[in-house]
Structure 1
Amino acid sequence: MPSSSLKPPQQERSRKGEKALLQAGLKGIETRGVAGLNMADVAAEAKASIGSLYFRFGDKSQFVEAVLAVALKEFQDRGFALCETAEREKWPQRRILEGWVAVVVTSVRERRSLVRELISHMATRPDAWKPIHERRRQLEDRLLSVLSARSSSGRNPAREMRLRIGLQVVAATVINMVVVDPGPLRINDPSAKDALCDLLFSFIGAPTTNAKGKAAPQHKAVRSKKA
């Protein structure tokens, strides 16, 4: 993350300039990787000076961490947007979980090059995982609160723990499909969401098919208004 001593931009022009630099960083990492990311190219892409880039972020390492924060926020916004929609429209629990899996798969699929590069970058930086874990917990807590509101029996700690583990397994499988790609399930496979939903429902003890014996319908990932 950028140094805490750095003050957030106050003027609209400064905020737009920072956003342009971060978006250029996202594009640069996706196309050239972290090692190949050139700060001068980032500045040129954002139509900014190299001096303003270093002044704002300090160095390349801090800039990469700021780019990671942007990618994490994109995912978090999608997750919260799904929870808000599910709460407002009173989705049943099954539809909420299907939507959640869709968000995970779609988000990673769209940013797979970035995900692969950032995981490799963070492999030797244990502290870099902290914001990921924190945002994941925030999202899971929000998701569980929405799910419990749709349950007639209220909150069940044992069931919630099992669900958290199931969500962890789904997320880890999606990341594995991008980083290692061992097959047979691949991130671009159209059946990826269905297969992961079946995996999750089986683990938490929910039926993987609906009452008519057909696979439950999948729901498109809900995008955040900012995405």
Structure 2
Amino acid sequence: MAGPLSVPVPQQERSRVTAERFITAALDLLRNRTFAELSVADIAAEADRSIGAFYQRFGSKDDFLEVLLTAYLERACAWAAEPRQKTSASEVLAVHLDHSFGELLANKNLWHAGLQRSAAEPGFWARFGDVGQRIAELNLAAIERSAGRSLDVNERQRLALARQVFNSVINNQIINAPGPLQLDDPKFLPELRALALRIAALD
């Protein structure tokens, strides 16, 4: 009688696992290398899969960048959906800003590649609009739960502006690295967070 290990794994499941191995491998490599420095061979070797298997699933390295960014944003979406202890609206926003900064700092080379691509393709970020919208809606819902009410139009506009300023400053640092503070400066996040909280003025 055949044991459980002899049961064939569906091709679709094997393909999904292989794709996830490539994604995990690439994200790990991008901690220390830029996307431009990575070759498909590097990614395949790290994933312990063949180069052919990569091209079968992703088509090209450029297409794979979109897969990586989608995985990154889906992870952010999952984090935003997790329930958290109820605190003030400003405290919830601060937690979200801190988490976003930490993830961007840890995945700086991936985000840098996305920013470079968007400079060459102005409509690039629109491809991630759906997941970006879900993240914004989940973040807003968490803030409104803490506030115990729905935000009015002016509050939502201030919140959107606060996030825009926060993200724009970080993006500029990642792509251009201007002074006076760098991303790894201990004062960078506290100063930027305080600015965003003042703009949002939720409490």
Question: Shorter-chain TM-score: what band?
Answer: 0.7 to 0.9
Measure the CA separation in 1 of the matches of 2:20 and 2:148: 44
Aligned residue pairs total 193
Are the aligned partners of 1:109 and 1:187 in contact in 2 as well (CA < 8 Å)? yes
Can you give the 5+ residue segments of structure 1 that lack an aligned partner in the other structure? Answer: 1-8, 208-227
Match of 2:88 in 1: 92
State TM-score, norm by structure 2. Answer: 0.82
Can you give the 5+ residue segments of structure 2 that lack an aligned partner in the other structure? Answer: 1-10
Match of 2:55 in 1: 54
**Change over 3 Å in CA distance of 1:36–1:149 after alignment to 2:** closer
Match of 1:221 in 2: none
**Following TM superposition, by how much is the alpha carbon of 1:170 offset from its aligned partner in structure 2, in angstroms?**
0.7
Measure the CA separation in 2 of the matches of 1:153 and 1:63: 41
1:163 aligns with 2:164: no
Measure the CA separation in 2 of the matches of 1:159 and 1:42: 44
C-alpha distance after superposition, 1:28-77 (max 9, x if no partner): 45544333332122222211112211111122222222122222223333
Match of 1:24 in 2: 25
* Corresponding residue SS for 1:123: helix
**Following TM superposition, by how much is the alpha carbon of 1:149 offset from its aligned partner in structure 2, in angstroms?**
2.8
Measure the CA separation in 2 of the matches of 1:150 and 1:72: 24
**Change over 3 Å in CA distance of 1:201–1:61 after alignment to 2:** closer
* Corresponding residue SS for 1:120: helix
- Identity of paired residues, percent? 24
Measure the CA separation in 1 of the matches of 2:88 and 2:202: 13
Q: For 1:110-129, list aligned pairs within 5 A.
A: 110-129=106-125
**Change over 3 Å in CA distance of 1:206–1:98 after alignment to 2:** same
State TM-score, norm by structure 1. Answer: 0.75
Q: For 1:101-180, list aligned pairs within 5 A.
A: 101-151=97-147, 154-180=150-176
Between Structure 1 and Structure 2, the one with more helix by share is 2
Measure the CA separation in 2 of the matches of 1:137 and 1:185: 30
* Corresponding residue SS for 1:71: helix
Are the aligned partners of 1:108 and 1:175 in contact in 2 as well (CA < 8 Å)? no
Match of 1:71 in 2: 72
Question: What code does the residue aligned with 2:41 have?
Answer: A
